[in-house]
Structure 1
Amino acid sequence: MKVFLKITVLLIITAAWMGCEGDYRQEARGSYGEVVVVMDSTQWESQTAQAIRETYGRHILTLPSGQPLYDLRFREFKNDDQLEQLKRNKNLIIAAPIDDTTNTARWIRALLSDEVEAQVRSNESFAFPMQNQWYQDQWTMILTAPGDSALAEQIHNSEKTLTDNLLRKEFERWEEEIYGQGEQEALADTIRANHGWKIRVQHDWQLGLDTTYSEDGEQQHFLTMRRPLPENDRWFWAWWKNDVEDISFLDDDWINAKRDSLTRQWIRGSRDSSYVTTEYGRPVETESFRMNGYLAHETLGTWRMTKDAMGGPFANLTVYDEQNDRLFLLEFGQFAPKYNKRRFVRQFRTMLRTFTTDSTWQSGSGGGGQ
């Protein structure tokens, strides 16, 4: 994975009105999916601007409607009043060559220390994330380098690390919003008591199937939940298997084949011959990482209903609990043709990241439905 050349941590001095009892500043404005890019208008067609568009504004190929990763709004300022308005935004990218003569470059130099400026000029550092600099719940990224082409190259070379930094902030925001509206802690605790794993459950999801079955002589488990709303049907399913000591078989192909076999068996349509399956005519992407101490594989793509003109996005998480030799597949799906898909997939990815297992769990120690 490409990474920053180096990220210098900025020490943010707490504003005088932030006392011991908390931060009483106003919350930054704007949607989670919008990023205001502060650059001089003479540079909106520069190599740096293009690199920002190709990084933060690239199309999400795993969504049905090809939305951008973030909606970019390029803005400049010519006076203090305009600058103060820009500072109010929730997501800010401030970009310019370090020694440029534009207002944006002057602002960057005012924000960075002399030591950090020297690191930029020597190509040691170029990206500086900040949290809650002027308002609450605010994300800011300063991007600067000795020149336009050098800055564009470093943005391209660190594309994933740059976007992951903002995605992590967005997941934090969604987690607070999703569960701030209400949470079914009793249902989550019941699943944990019966099955040795847990996921935070939003207030209006309904438990569906909860079964243990045999396949090829081996015991397996399947559970579903649903959030049926008018024109916005959302569902969740989880499959797991105990006593999995060897995962050498686990790769992208196995994950997708297993997903398809499970949805064919358990996620059926209104017709007897219809079921949910992966739409392989569009990209299906899997990324591996460590999550809460587990080896995890996140798969994003679109599904379609066989024998029917239906489809939508899905977000899947395959998790291996190495301590207890347990393998899990968890997936959210949605059918909502009139709605923006990006925000819901981000919510699904956020909820999947609340998954944990019981470290004391032993096969056969819990209950469960049939």
Structure 2
Amino acid sequence: MRLTLTALLLSGFSILFIACESDFRPLAEGNTREVLVVMDSTKWDSETAEAIRDVFGKWVNTLPNAEPYYDLSFTQISSQSQLERIKRHKNIIFAAPIEEESNTGRQIRGFLDENLEQRVREDESFAFPVEEQWYRDQYVLILTSTSDSALAQKIRNTERSLLSDMLDKELKRWEYFVYEQYEQTQYSDSLWKNHGFKVRFQHDYIKNVDTLNFQTYRRALPQNDRWMWIWWKNDVPDISFLDNNWINTTRDSLSQHYIKGSRDDMYVNTYFNRPDLRPVITESFQKGRLLAYETRGTWHMVNGAMAGPFVNFTYYDPDTDRLFMIEYSQFAPSVRKKLPFVRQFRAMGRTFQSDSTWTPEKEEPNL
């Protein structure tokens, strides 16, 4: 049977369709990277529990030091009052075989209507993500199948889909958090008017370099230095050359020229020395009509003792034959956890837009 990740309206577990401005329920509790896994305590060493740890708690190595994809904690339903406390959490996974005689198993059967139970028993569905169920900004995932081993196998087989769905929710949260109070629309408006594209800017980034087709912005804080740069190229009708190697070679060439240290022989470069420990990963996705590539890894300072994570976006607009790069980097040796900032970068880079009506005649020189 084909395994499916299905977002369904559950009988007795229906989503509340309430506009954000009229939803007066409290916000869900907890950090956006914390996931509460609800299973019977006798099953915390089961195949399903190990699959959840391997998928949702797997190590992210595209950082100076590896961190877990999500921080997992396990709990069980021991009383109705505890279930009410569980329901307050921001991210919750309920996991048990459909016939399991435990509080979690009975709760899962209570979530599903007759039709959905049948689909589970016939191996047609096993994962049911639901947002905004009991509290605002909440993500709940129900995982169930015919047996412990079957459920574990389905979780492993659909790792990409399961993580993508949860990550999409997280990136929406980060976008809201980054731009919630204030953003510098003058930068994005200027890019749109003068160059036919834009990306959203956090409130305290300051423009540094501004050349014909390259700009840098920096958010310099004593313990957490962050910067971004933008590059673009016009008249690119053919992108057959565009692959991982071209992306990284171009990135490093631009960084060597523009992203310098305290001396001219110090510059930022991608750390390729230990691909087994710190890989550089490129993934493609579609953003509307735009073809997009996201590259994540670790940078280091040539001739200097500095390093940190980076996220690069390469976008191609087939309507205008234009190629764009946006890169975000961080240097924060005293900040232990870098992954939250990487997730912020991933959310920020996805705000990119390109004007499909742009023509070279509209380009205005930098002042």
- TM-score of the alignment, normalized to the shorter chain, above 0.5: yes
State the percentage of identical aligned residues. Answer: 51
Find 2:287's aligned residue among 288, 291, 310: 291
**1:39 Cα deviation after fit:** 0.4
Instruction: Please say if 1:151 is aligned against 2:151.
Output: yes
**Which residue is equivalent to 1:46?**
46
**Which residue is equivalent to 2:348?**
351
Q: Is the 8 A contact 2:268 2:301 kept in 1?
A: yes
Find 1:245's aligned residue among 237, 242, 245: 237
Instruction: Please say if 1:225 is aligned against 2:222.
Output: no
**Which residue is equivalent to 1:121?**
121
**Which residue is equivalent to 1:215?**
none
**Which residue is equivalent to 2:328?**
332
Match of 1:286, SS state, is strand
**Which residue is equivalent to 1:77?**
77
Equivalent AA in structure 2 for residue 329 of structure 1: M
CA pair 19-289 structure 1, distance change in 2 beyond 3 A: closer
CA pair 228-368 structure 1, distance change in 2 beyond 3 A: farther
CA distance in 2, matches of 1:263, 1:8: 42
CA distance in 2, matches of 1:129, 1:92: 10
Which has the larger displacement, 175-184 or 308-317? 175-184
Q: Is the 8 A contact 2:98 2:120 kept in 1?
A: yes
Equivalent AA in structure 2 for residue 260 of structure 1: D
CA pair 98-14 structure 1, distance change in 2 beyond 3 A: closer
CA pair 4-178 structure 1, distance change in 2 beyond 3 A: farther
Match of 1:146, SS state, is coil
Count of equivalent residues = 359
**For each residue in 1:280-320, what CA deviation from the matched residue of structure 2 results, as whole angstroms up to 9, or x when unmatched?**
12200000110132100100000000111100000000100
Match of 1:272, SS state, is coil
Q: Is the 8 A contact 1:8 1:125 kept in 2?
A: no
CA distance in 1, matches of 2:64, 2:165: 25
Match of 1:42, SS state, is helix
Instruction: Please say if 1:363 is aligned against 2:348.
Output: no
**Which residue is equivalent to 1:206?**
206
CA distance in 1, matches of 2:108, 2:14: 16
Q: Is the 8 A contact 2:188 2:199 kept in 1?
A: yes
The runs of at least 4 consecutive aligned structure 1 residues that moved more than 2 Å come to 3-6, 11-16, 18-21
**Which residue is equivalent to 2:226?**
234
CA pair 21-193 structure 1, distance change in 2 beyond 3 A: closer
Gaps of 5+ in 2: none
Q: Equivalent residues in 2 for 1:12-161 (5 A)?
A: 13=14, 22-161=22-161
Q: TM-score, normalization: structure 2?
A: 0.95
Q: TM-score, normalization: structure 1?
A: 0.94
CA distance in 1, matches of 2:118, 2:188: 51
Equivalent AA in structure 2 for residue 276 of structure 1: V
Match of 2:67, SS state, is coil
CA distance in 1, matches of 2:9, 2:66: 35
Which has the larger displacement, 359-368 or 164-173? 359-368
Cα RMSD (Å) = 1.6
**Which residue is equivalent to 1:10?**
9
